[in-house]
Amino acid sequence: MLLTRLAGLAVARRRIVLVTTALFLALAGVLGGGVAAELSGGGFDDPDAESVRAAQLLEEQFGSGVPNLVLLAEARAGVDDPAAVAAGEALVKRLSAEPGVVQVTSWWTSGRPDSLKAQDGSSAVVLARLTGGDETAVDRVEELAPSYRGNFQGLQVQVGGQAEVFSEVGHTIERDILRAEAIAIPITMVLLVIVFGSAVAAALPLLIGVMSILGTFLVLHLLAKTTDVSVYSVNLATSLGLGLGIDYALFMVTRHREELARGLSVPAAVIATVRTAGRTVLFSALTVLLSLSALLVFPLYFLRSFAYAGIAAVVFAALGAVVVLPAALAALGHRVDSLDLRRPLRRLLGLPAPRPKALDEGFWSRIAHGVMRRPLPVATSVVALLLLAAVPFGSVVFGLPDDRVLPKDAPAFQVAETLRAEYPGRESQALSVVAPRASGDPASYARALSVVDGVERVDAATGSWVGGRQVTEQGTRGMAAGGGTFLRVVPSVESYGPEGEQLVRDVRAVPSPIGEVLVEGQAASLVDTKSSLRADLPLALGLIFGTTFVLLFLFTGSLLIPVKALVLNVLSLCATFGAMVWVFQQGNLIGLVGDPVVTGTLDTTIPILMFCLLFGLSMDYEVFLLSRIKEVWDQTGDNTRAVAVGLQRTGRIVTAAAGLLAIVFLAFISSDISFIKLLGLGTALAIVVDATLIRGALVPAFMRLAGRANWWAPAPLRRLHDRFGLSEAEPVREDVVVPPRVPAGV
């Protein structure tokens, strides 16, 4: 058997394995430690979408594009004061002379349109575009912002715009990671000591977690040199790497201590652990990996980046559990239980040592038997509760991230919020209607667009139109080039919302008299992104459901158990999504997670990300539980006993692992990025629900109701499973008891 040979090699060459691991950790830390600064803040657009192609045409054919730099200039005496006018003109002149800055326009230099001045006249804006891609713009704004922010000839200037938003998001993510690690790692270490008793044993899961994190950082560092990688994926690398490292090491170390308790030598116990628990860990890792791989179906590199980070974290956690951890266990020997911090505490409090427990005795066994005595009422009650929690998800409104993902004291958010509250127009949210080969009169087209609901003004090369009436005959320079032209549609509605989406659909529905046109802008990106996600979602779900079903069949030989797992997972996730809508979209109890901006929408990509991530994690716990249930079923043929013993033998492990993983994700509630808060809270909640209501109530209830049908499969499939199926190799030993030194909390 491959795992047996691998374990034997790790035991025999344990010093080489551990030294190699130490060198790898050092290399990964040096090369990947600063990976957040190398990654991108965007990735929410489909590169093949109409809006993206239109943006590329604007850049390449017209040298134009959506302004991504905003200077908000406030004048104490009003922006039309002569001194403020002179300062504003000087500000525009200085910015226009900066390398890489084009399309500079302002209230002072563009005919003083009302849309570029606050309604009370206290401030005005300067709009500009930084050339190059998102990363180039971020680098440039970080160079420019310090010299423009603050006092400029009596004007108080603030810097905003998309480039500044991306810059602030990147720096915020770096701070968030350090803060989350500072919260999660000490708490996790304390809880691991409580779970294991031994400080030495508690350090092993952290070792695997750190290996997974640093290994993933190294992979992201290498990928960033060849493709776009989202900076947000670093959060998943940290939380999933630490969480899965702890999960797998917890499962392995617990099994290793059981093997030692059976009287095996240290090398034999390590090999037996890898052959049994190691096999389950690899199978579990495969289910998580395949679930996360579904994110690669989507063209948005934001989602693909989470797949890169998640897959790398799973691979390193699994390798650490079946290669590095066995070497460490072999090197430690019986010292794995050294520094038992609970014995002196028990002596101090006068508490007795834990009593040995039989396989079918304990808290989780009693829970299982209690549920299986009344399976129908229990199942009905829990399903009703989860369906009730899922109700708010029916009213979800999807949007895309903008400056409002930042905290309220972030400069880029404050600039954008001022524009939304005090400026009548939305110049920075304008749609561009691009005709690369114009064949008719753009004036009639501009007139038709100007009467669409939600349009404030339309600018064209031949003038501007408002409500079907031409208000100026002076066109904007650069709007015609290479035989084509484009029009700017300034909206009067919010881009990221239902009104903005309807505006895009209405603009695209207006017949074009100038040939084929493409529409781009913030609202167009939202429409195209949602359309792209809807188109690819069935394939992603099919891959997740299909691979999960096949893998669980290979693991159990059953047709019903995989179906049950899929249905319960979907139910649990819908309840989680309902809770997230209730909190983050509707704003209920939002103060418990800080003070993020409530926009009335939920980021379109986050439910998809959470679905793929949580489906894999829930299968992780499902495999842990089924491995022991199947083990007892194969030995006894008693379904009820198999469920009770399986839950007892894994309930403590799953509870501890889920609690620790939930804490890791809960640490990200401290993030200053709103949808990272959502991801952290939603994932933690789903993990807790899965480890308690699903594994503790619904699984035993449904398996009791199904009885022997749980294990049924047609004869051809039974033969297929007999040949290719997977399971833990060790049979159940009825005389095995857990010795006092195995912690009751594990």
Which pLDDT score is estimated for 152? Answer: 93
Return phi, psi of residue 621, to 5°.
-70, -35
Which pLDDT score is estimated for 588? Answer: 94
**In contact, 439 and 515? CB cutoff 8 Å:** yes
The percentage of residues in the chain with a pLDDT greater than 90, rounded to a whole number, is 48
Both tokens of 704, joined, read 């009791």
Q: Is the dihedral of CA 650, 652, 653, 657 positive or negative?
A: positive
Which pLDDT score is estimated for 433? Answer: 94
Both tokens of 444, joined, read 């009639």
- State the DSSP H helix or E strand holding residue 373, giving kind and residue range, or none if neither: helix 363-373
Which pLDDT score is estimated for 576? Answer: 94
Average pLDDT, the chain: 87
CA dist., res. 383 & res. 701, Å (int) = 11
By CB atoms closer than 10 A (0-12, 13-18, 19+), residue 395 is: exposed
Higher pLDDT, 581 or 174: 581
pTM of the model: 0.84
* Dihedral, CA of residue 667, residue 671, residue 676 and residue 682, to nearest 10: 40
Both tokens of 193, joined, read 């000591």
**In contact, 425 and 437? CB cutoff 8 Å:** no
What is the average pLDDT across 390-408? 90
CA dist., res. 16 & res. 13, Å (int) = 5
The Cβ of residue 626 has, within 10 Å, a number of other Cβ atoms equal to 28
DSSP for 214-261 reads: HHHHHHHHHHTTTS--BTTHHHHHHHHHHHHHHHHHHHHHHHHHHHHH
Higher pLDDT, 33 or 195: 33
Name the pLDDT band for 360 (thresholds 50, 70, 90): low
CA angle in degrees (0–180, nearest 5) for 569-571-573: 70
Q: Which residues pair with 160 in a beta bridge?
A: 70
In this predicted structure, the answer to whether residue 133 has a pLDDT above a threshold of 90 is no
What is the average pLDDT across 572-591? 94
Q: What is the pLDDT of residues 105-126, one digit of tens each?
A: 899 988 787 778 999 999 999 9
What is the average pLDDT across 581-606? 90
**In contact, 446 and 480? CB cutoff 8 Å:** no
Q: Could you give the domains of the chain? A: 1-32+197-356 (1.20.1640.10), 66-167 (3.30.70.1440), 360-393+548-726 (1.20.1640), 415-526 (3.30.70)
The percentage of residues in the chain with a pLDDT greater than 70, rounded to a whole number, is 93
In this predicted structure, the answer to whether residue 745 has a pLDDT above a threshold of 60 is no
